[in-house]
Structure 1
Amino acid sequence: MKIGFIYAGQGSQVVGMGKSFYDHYETARNIMDAIQIDFDLKDLCFNGPIDVLSQTQYTQPCMVACAIMATELLKENGIEPAMSAGLSLGEYSALYSAGVMDAKTAIDLVRFRGQAMEEAAKGIESKMVAVLGLDRDTLQKCVEEASAYGVVQIANYNCPGQLVIGGEAKAVDKASELALENKARRALPLNTSGPFHTSLLEKASVALANKFKEVTFQEMCLPVIFNSTARPLEENSTIAQMLTKQVKSSVYFEDSIRYMLSQGVDTFIEIGPGKVLSGFIRKIDKTIKCYQVEDHESLEKTLKELKGEE
């Protein structure tokens, strides 16, 4: 068995996330109680309200804190990944799992990232839309044609038949219209607060580049598959460069999973609320085993099944 950890991104947050870890495990309590940040992260995770929890600047540190708890609980029980990846925000949790940064650094960075993303999106009439049932090449042609109306790009390559476009609202609407004319099954607007993973986030990218000058990243103890390349870190690149690029570049999640499969990963553990990433993986390859860890019950179930298989 070769295990890959995959970390959920923004949009998966729910009120109450992390609470059952905190209630059942001392390790989780120690992690959560040690977090020093400029808002009550524990209270927001456990009690909401959801409208505040869903604001980018708050979502990001809350999601990463819960991911760190789950990662440490898995490792405490002898479950470690051969490699890891995350969807967008989840990439920071993946880097934590690889020993690149400690909990404080990870949470501080995503707090800054969330604020920078919100600031960069201010004043932009933007939109993101999930396009279902259309291939990449056809959607790319729709996007190119719609770019006459403004900035629009394919922001996420999630799985076969599910792509996300983002950018300026008029251009995204035009690309969505063209996609439907080209036999897309549906074009579903997403509840997001900005044109994430498009060139409109350039200001956030610059802010992160400056922030990373203050950070020392440690050597990775396992490969992390990066969103923007769907590959491990290359010799001529740095982690800071990859994270700076990531915020304004497409997320190649499907390609990342296919790469991990090509390297022998045969079992995935999705870490974070919900089963969105597991759903993507099943559309990529139905034969792959996927487990999910979001609370005490799912952790215990996953440990039991994995240890039974071993």
Structure 2
Amino acid sequence: MTFAILCSGQGRQHSNMFALTADAPEASGLFSRGAFLLGGRDPRELVKTESPEGLHQNRVGQILCALQALAAAAALRCSIHGRFIVAGYSVGEMAAWGVAGLIEAHMVLDLVRQRADAMDAASPRDDGLLFVRGLSQLSVCALCARHDVAIAIINPGDAFVLGGRLSALRSLSDEVKGMSGTRVVDLPIEVASHTPRLAMASAEFRKILRATPVAFPSDLRTRLLSGIDGAPVLDAQTGKDKLADQISQTLHWAECLQGCIEGGANKFLELGPGSALSDMVAGAYPGVSTRSLDEFKTLQGARAWLSST
């Protein structure tokens, strides 16, 4: 059995996202570190009391999503046997380095805070992201050229995330809504992640990563995939450079999922929050067993599913 562990990005934060891990002793230190990075606010309480807008603020959202994956991985580690592949979507790739054992989990949270700050500092005001489904990549590229936006993420099934100025995204959205068979959704993200508009953030974060200690290679049972091309991370420096580059380059998430399948993965678990990634797996690879942690009512249930063949 080869597992694929998927670490989610921003967008699906919710008030019960830590319901399964809040009391897990394996995750207590991570929640303490998260509270420090969130100005003393316990993340387990913050998600219950903060407004939806507050939960999707860039720095807060990135810390919460990385913490979700790291806390879940810590609580479930004893139930993951054999080989496993790790891939992360957007900020989830930061968590994936921790889940794979390349960067210590507390340090990952510190890096996520620095990543978010670098992105905020580099981001033009009034930028954002837009989801578009139902058009070919060629058609989407033509739309992007007309409206001066960029493809941020390529998902399976002719699904794309586009980034740029909000005014340009609204104009593009209006055009797409007039086409049959399409779906358009504004995403609650404050920056044009994974587009050239954040090139300065990539440069700044590269400097930070170069000073970050990495345990490489990690456990030989583990394979970590890079978000910008779906290729395995085979050496520390190249991996760090790609991790910095993905802030301002297109993520090829469809290639990441294909890399998991080609690596032999036949069971997928998305650590959340949400089930967007597990839904993508189910849509692209109907014969594969895939679940999101959000689907389980208890950690014991998730552990039992992981341990089953």
- Length-normalised TM-score, structure 1: 0.88
The answer for the alignment partner of 1:130 in structure 2 is 131
Matched, 1:167 2:184: no
- Residue of structure 2 aligned with 1:99, choices 87, 96, 101: 101
| SS of corresponding position for 1:93 | helix
- 1:168 shift after superposition: 2.3
Aligned mates of 1:236, 1:72 — CA distance in 2:
23
- Residue of structure 2 aligned with 1:213, choices 188, 191, 210: 210
Amino acid at match of 2:188: N
Distance 1:279 1:296, change over 3 A: closer
Residues 33-44 of structure 1 mapped to structure 2, 5 A cutoff: 33=32, 36-37=36-37, 39-43=39-43, 44=45
Aligned mates of 1:143, 1:228 — CA distance in 2:
19
Amino acid at match of 1:39: G
The answer for the alignment partner of 1:144 in structure 2 is 145
The answer for the alignment partner of 2:31 in structure 1 is 32
Aligned mates of 1:12, 1:244 — CA distance in 2:
23
| SS of corresponding position for 2:199 | helix
Is the 2:194–2:246 contact (alpha carbons within 8 Å) kept by the matching residues of 1?
yes
Amino acid at match of 1:308: S
- 1:257 shift after superposition: 0.3
Matched, 1:55 2:52: no
The answer for the alignment partner of 1:65 in structure 2 is 67
- Residue of structure 2 aligned with 1:187, choices 174, 181, 184: 184
Is the 1:134–1:183 contact (alpha carbons within 8 Å) kept by the matching residues of 2?
no
The answer for the alignment partner of 2:280 in structure 1 is 280
Q: Deviations over 1:202-255 (max 9, x none)?
A: 121122122223212221422211111111125695222111101011111111
Is the 2:56–2:188 contact (alpha carbons within 8 Å) kept by the matching residues of 1?
no
- Length-normalised TM-score, structure 2: 0.88
Corresponding residue pairs, total: 303
Q: Deviations over 1:32-55 (max 9, x none)?
A: 235543612524545330332221
Amino acid at match of 2:26: T
Q: State the superposition RMSD in angstroms.
A: 2.4
Is the 1:70–1:294 contact (alpha carbons within 8 Å) kept by the matching residues of 2?
no
Aligned mates of 1:273, 1:38 — CA distance in 2:
18
Is the 2:216–2:235 contact (alpha carbons within 8 Å) kept by the matching residues of 1?
no
Distance 1:236 1:95, change over 3 A: closer
Most deviating of 289-298 and 272-281: 289-298
Q: Deviations over 1:11-49 (max 9, x none)?
A: 1211243244222x3222243235543612524545330
Aligned mates of 2:179, 2:4 — CA distance in 1:
36
Is the 2:129–2:186 contact (alpha carbons within 8 Å) kept by the matching residues of 1?
yes
Matched, 1:225 2:252: no
The answer for the alignment partner of 1:117 in structure 2 is 119
- 1:296 shift after superposition: 7.1
Distance 1:296 1:188, change over 3 A: closer
Is the 1:18–1:294 contact (alpha carbons within 8 Å) kept by the matching residues of 2?
no
Aligned mates of 1:74, 1:65 — CA distance in 2:
14
Aligned mates of 1:112, 1:127 — CA distance in 2:
20
Q: Deviations over 1:92-142 (max 9, x none)?
A: 11111111111221000001111121222243x324221121121221122
- 1:62 shift after superposition: 2.1
User: What runs of 5+ residues in structure 2 fail to find an aligned partner?
Assistant: none
The answer for the alignment partner of 2:243 in structure 1 is 243
Aligned mates of 1:82, 1:272 — CA distance in 2:
17
Distance 1:104 1:244, change over 3 A: same
| SS of corresponding position for 2:198 | helix
The answer for the alignment partner of 2:292 in structure 1 is 292
Distance 1:80 1:57, change over 3 A: farther
Most deviating of 107-116 and 214-223: 214-223
